[in-house]
Structure 1
Amino acid sequence: MRHWLRAGNPAGHAMVPAAARPVDTSHPTRVIGHGDPRGCTATAVVAAVAKGGIIAFDCGPAPVTIAMKVTAKIRNSVPHTVLDGGGLVTLSGGGARRILYMNTCDQAQGWTTSHCNDQSTPHLTVQNITFAGGNATGQKQDGGGGGAIFVRGGRLTVINARFTGNRCDSTGADLGGAAIRVLDQYHGLPVYVARSTFEGGTCSNGGALSGISVSWTILNSLFTGNQAVGRGANPARGGTPGGGSGGAVYADGNRFAIRLAGTVIRGSRANEGGGAVFFVSNDNTGELTIDHSRLTGNRNAGFETAGLPGIYFHSTGRPTITASTLSR
């Protein structure tokens, strides 16, 4: 299948580990469509995602947008789900709904262990696909957020994907992730994001990504024009609803690490702190590494760490920065 989608930072050359490389989908478990767009429906996507396995699309030779009528949900009894759009498929929330949901602690999706916040499966991989117009506004379960994708537990991997125009609630002290919100990953392993683009996202915090005590390894990716639009920071100042930090990336909690390598963050904005990245490790164990990356033109109306344009960092010491540019 011809791949039309070219996401991420083309100048990024960070090494991509095996865990963040595309899954072989040459022998899919199930295929959505029969060679033309007519079979590529939201109903088919929801049904396929509920069954899991390797999911491919056969919607014809041209790009296709599938308007999701409801959110597609991962069943917790399904070990692995790979959603591969072949570079031609856009899943659209139409500005009205979240697109994809996985939550190991949601009994409505099946209760599979007694330790839902630390189980190895499901493992969700999205690759060669676009998520547009997702909207999690009003979705409050487990703190809300995640306009395109919400994940709690298991594992998540994002490869060669584009996220555009996604959003979640505009206020909330700790609510975030216009594109992706993640709570808990198995044994604290990182969410891998490789060669992906995040643009035009809007949320209270984290105009692209948000995690609580979650590690991220972000490789050869591009963030542009994302916004954290809340007011009052976290904890919320008196008389405010809270939020407004992490124009692109919002990370809070205890033991976690973020690595940006071969990645560009530009033109993002925060009403409070960290126009590009907001990083708060409450127990001072968190580590932020920026390697061969460029963070430019990211503005915050409130606060940032001295000498780190676009970044608010709270942990022990300073971030590790190698061969990177941070500028206004």
Structure 2
Amino acid sequence: MRLRSLAAVAALGVATVALTACGPSVPRADPRGAQPPVSDVDTASPTMGQEAGARANPPARTGLGSPGTSASPTPRTTPPAGRDTGNPAGRVAVPAAARAVDTSKPTRTVGNGTAASCTSAAVVRAVAAGGIITFDCGPDPVTIRMTATAKVRNANGPKVVLDGGGKVTLSGQGKRRILYMNTCDPLQGWTTSHCNDQDHPQLTVQNLTFTGGDATGQRIDGGGGGAIFVRGGRFKVVNSRFVDNRCDRTGPDLGGAAIRVLDQHDDQPVYVVNSTFTGGSCANGGALSSIGVSWVVLNSVLRDNVAVGNGANPARSGTPGGGSGGAIYCDGNTFSVRIAGTVIEGNDAKEGGGAIFFVSNDRTGTLRIENSTLRRNPSHGFQTFPGIFYLGSGKPTFASSTIR
């Protein structure tokens, strides 16, 4: 569903908009049975999960940092972003709006050529100042251990671009969310009277790795978004990696171990291009989660993410809710999801949609999967196709894809 701004929030001085519009999405359906693969345009037949769910579901400055110890050039356990991201076999055309931003003329640079100069404080200051941000941390890959969440100031920009050059990892150290943008949060400055639908800031992250982000206990606007939380403006991800991020383990509609998005200007989609999501864990959406937001996921990989909640949405009596969308959790009214040139495998949902949970409450939303492979994504409670729980407009569209 769409969120609407509340003028009273400004007076309170804190973001208190409640996410109540998701409504009854999915009661627990019967356990899934054996199902055949779905290949090319074969949409297969709905299983008991869909039938039960449908019956019960009602309506350039440099050196911003000073020498410190938060950056480390020590060997990494994962390749730096930009070198091993996305699906190399994915060759789906990427529209201009989804491509990386030119950062050859940065507004500001984090670091002055050494790993020690690339500190958490420098990242926080740069993100708050806005503009095109690059990193100069020396010749080797570097991990910046974030000691505070970097927050976008809504009056700065309008573009905010973080480009790690394929060598920078931002780590939440398993203690905090890494990056936050919220146009409806008065603490970050209100810049329009329609915070849910303004066209700025326009946030892009590219050629970066995000790891160890954890939004547990962060419940502003419903919580979620272990690595990145976004509400409003525009957002896209290019050539980036998200590894081992977390958010709360329970909640019927909370999600997004890597990324949580609420609202985008003019209902335009979030683009995720040539990126990889692994090891995420949250109540719902082990990688991506949204309410009323469209997505275009191109030439990417979502692997080994889990939705660990219990009780689905709405939560069954006696349960805290959650457990849907092992990789992707999308709820709301009118929105679309397009998955193309992408591999989604090895994800797991304790309830529904081991790969994708998609519920359009007013049944206007659409799901399209093309030139993609979805495999080994168990749904332990309910599904309508292998690894997918879908309630939307008609059936999903499968084109030149394997779903098994």
Partner in structure 1 of residue 189 of structure 2: 110
- Bigger proportion of residues as strand: 1
Partner in structure 1 of residue 325 of structure 2: 246
- Equivalent pair of 2:81/2:208 in contact (CA under 8 Å): no
**1:273 pairs with 2:337:** no
Cα deviation, residue 38, structure 1:
1.1
2:396 to 309, 319, 324: 319
Partner in structure 2 of residue 7 of structure 1: 85
> How high is the TM-score relative to the length of structure 1?
0.98
**1:42 pairs with 2:134:** no
> How high is the TM-score relative to the length of structure 2?
0.79
Q: Distance in 2 between matches of 1:251 and 1:223?
A: 15
List 4+ stretches of structure 1 deviating above 6 A.
Answer: none
- Equivalent pair of 2:246/2:257 in contact (CA under 8 Å): yes
Alignment of 1:221-300 (within 5 A): 221-300=300-379
SS in 2 for 1:176: coil
Root-mean-square deviation (CA, aligned residues, Å) is 0.9
- Equivalent pair of 1:150/1:182 in contact (CA under 8 Å): yes
Q: Distance in 1 between matches of 2:185 and 2:214?
A: 20
Partner in structure 2 of residue 170 of structure 1: 249
Counterpart code for 1:170: R
Cα deviation, residue 69, structure 1:
0.2
Q: Which structure 2 segments of 5+ residues have no match? A: 1-79
Counterpart code for 1:323: S
Q: Distance in 1 between matches of 2:100 and 2:379?
A: 35
Aligned sequence identity (%): 67
**1:147 pairs with 2:230:** no
Counterpart code for 1:242: G
Q: Distance in 2 between matches of 1:120 and 1:87?
A: 28
Q: Distance in 1 between matches of 2:81 and 2:388?
A: 35
Q: Deviations over 1:48-86 (max 9, x none)?
A: 000010000010111000000000000010211000000
Cα deviation, residue 4, structure 1:
5.6
SS in 2 for 1:38: helix
Partner in structure 2 of residue 33 of structure 1: 111
SS in 2 for 1:233: coil
Q: Distance in 1 between matches of 2:333 and 2:316?
A: 22
- Equivalent pair of 2:81/2:169 in contact (CA under 8 Å): no
SS in 2 for 1:45: helix
Partner in structure 1 of residue 134 of structure 2: 56
Q: Deviations over 1:63-112 (max 9, x none)?
A: 00000000000001021100000000000000000000000000000011
Closer, same or farther: CA 44–127 of 1 in aligned 2, 3 Å: same
- Equivalent pair of 1:135/1:167 in contact (CA under 8 Å): yes
Q: Distance in 2 between matches of 1:223 and 1:128?
A: 17
Closer, same or farther: CA 4–295 of 1 in aligned 2, 3 Å: closer
* Residues paired across the two proteins, number: 324
Closer, same or farther: CA 256–4 of 1 in aligned 2, 3 Å: closer
Structure with more relative contact order (C-alpha pairs < 8 Å, separation 6 or more): 2
Q: Which structure 1 segments of 5+ residues have no match? A: none
Cα deviation, residue 171, structure 1:
0.1
Q: Distance in 1 between matches of 2:232 and 2:178?
A: 18
Partner in structure 1 of residue 272 of structure 2: 193
SS in 2 for 1:142: helix
Cα deviation, residue 34, structure 1:
1.1
Partner in structure 2 of residue 125 of structure 1: 204
Q: Which moved more, 1:245-254 or 1:308-317?
A: 308-317
Q: Deviations over 1:192-244 (max 9, x none)?
A: 00000000000000000000000000000000000000000000000000000
Cα deviation, residue 35, structure 1:
1.1
- Equivalent pair of 2:347/2:354 in contact (CA under 8 Å): yes
Q: Distance in 2 between matches of 1:33 and 1:14?
A: 35
Select the structure of larger CA radius of gyration: 2
